[in-house]
Amino acid sequence: MLERLWNGWRAQYVQRETKHEPTPESVFTQILKSGLPDDETHIVHRGPLCFVILNAFPYSPGHLLVLPDREVGDRELLTAAETEEIWATVTMGVRVLKDEYSPQGINVGINLGQVAGGSIAQHLHVHIVPRWGGNTNFMVSVASTKILPEALDITSHRIRKAWLRLQS
């Protein structure tokens, strides 16, 4: 018997059109230019040169992406100021996740290029992923399903609030 697990926000991912030609702008650039409010786009922090957004398809609650505002695919194309701000923002993102979620560990990483796992390779982004013992379970290996205990709007609210609290 097939079991079903409802995960409403994933519908947007599985229903999207698959295109093999590169888009003129990354989804991140499109979000920045959209004019939509940060609570709708799940942007949790904006700096002068970079921003932080929730991963729309997170590995775990609190999965953050730190990006330069400027669409750049390779780390060596970042300016010195962008590099400095991005890494300071990654450090702050780690502090925020530790304070708000108390993870047992955190993964920080960048996938440079599509074959390295960069799903949006044209716009460099640093992943910050909180981890807990047991947050990968039998569902991933048996049913190819990941269970997330918190909706993105709740996560973004918590992180935005914690970011402001720790910044002051």
Q: Which residues are catalytic?
A: 125
How far is residue 88's CA from residue 165's CA, in Å, rounded to a whole number?
A: 17
